[in-house]
Structure formats: C-alpha cells, structure tokens
Amino acid sequence: MAKLDTPALAQLFTEARTRNGWDPAPLPEETLRALYDLVKFGPTAANSTPARFYFVTSPEAKERLAKHASGSNGPKIRQAPCTVIIGYDLDFPETMPKLFPHVSDAKNWFGDLQAREWGALRNSSLQGGYFIMAARALGLDAGPMSGFDNAAVDAEFFAGTAIKSNFIVSIGHGTDEGLFPRNPRLDFEEAAKIL
C-alpha cells in the first residue's frame, strides 16, 4: 500500500478543521450515499458494524434535532446542510449471520447485554471516526458534536428501536465563521510509549 502524499494527509489530518459555520447549500443524495459507501468498509470487531447513520437534512428534521442540542450547537445544526446522528444498534448481533458468515454462532458472542452495549458503543465510535475521515476524503468538512441530550434524541428519532445515539456530526462545506485557532496537541512523549 502506498503512502498518501502530503496534500492528502493535509486534507485528512494536518489542515482539516472542525467547522462551526456552514454554507447551507444542500448536499446531493449521491454524496451522502457515496460517504456511507466508504464508511462501511472501515474495520469493526467481527465485522459487526453496529453504527446507524441518520442523515438529518430537511428543515423539519433539523429543528427536531436542534431543539435537543446544547449551547451554540442548535444554530450549527440549523445552518449545516446535513447533520448526521451516529447511533448504535443494540440489535446488531442479528446481522452477524450476514456480516460474519464463516462463524455460525457469532451472534451468540454478544448474548450478554453488557457485552452488546460495549461492543455497539466501541465499534460505532470507530465507525464515527471513519465517517469524519471519509467526509474529508470526499472534500467535505465535518463538525462533530456531543453537546446534546442523548435520551431526548433517542426518543425523538429512535423510538421503538434498539438504536441509541452516540454523537452527531454536521457535514458540508464549512466557512471560517466561528472557526477557533487550532488548539495544541500532546507530543508523542506525552501520549505514547514504545514498549
């Protein structure tokens, strides 16, 4: 596998920024589908892929989500062309026969509720990270947020299902409105060890 060139790394990591302001122009459905079609290939435990992606694009749906956001997140949701609720499905083991067919009893690995919850949360978080990187790879900006009432969002969007919200991400073409200076990061010696 070839190393990505410097401009590609800049687009994905070193120059990419969390956006707070948005060009409100709608994103085509084909773009949203292309985004998911990249995300679905990211690795998860036993290919469990428990994340569920709700693309909130209509003014009505944006308002339903924004009313449960805290602080300045509501206006960001209303302005962005799309905000995605990244949830996790506690019924994900039911899809294991399709997703991990070479092990006939794989769904039983998650029979315990705690194992299912941990597996769903951990792997949907991975998929959420892939989602942000896939959006950047397609030339979109991303603005992830955790400032919202999860229980209220679950009741609003996932009632009658086993899906719970993890976090939300606005996507589109960002502006410099409300863009903060880049914050520092920990150095290698502060965050990593070679053992």
Q: What DSSP state is assigned to residue 112? A: S
| Nearest residue to 82 via CA among 169, 182, 193, 189 | 169
Is 42 exposed, middle or buried (CB count within 10 Å of its CB: 0-12, 13-18, 19+)?
Answer: middle
The pLDDT assigned to 111 comes to: 86
pLDDT along the chain (195 residues), means of 10: 96 96 97 98 97 98 98 96 98 96 92 93 98 98 97 98 98 94 95 98
Q: Which domains does the chain have, with CATH numbers?
A: 17-173 (3.40.109.10)
Contact 21, 73 (CB under 8 A): no
- Please, where are the H alpha helices in the chain? 6-9, 29-39, 59-66, 73-79, 96-99, 113-137, 150-157, 188-191
| Residue 55: per-residue pLDDT | 98
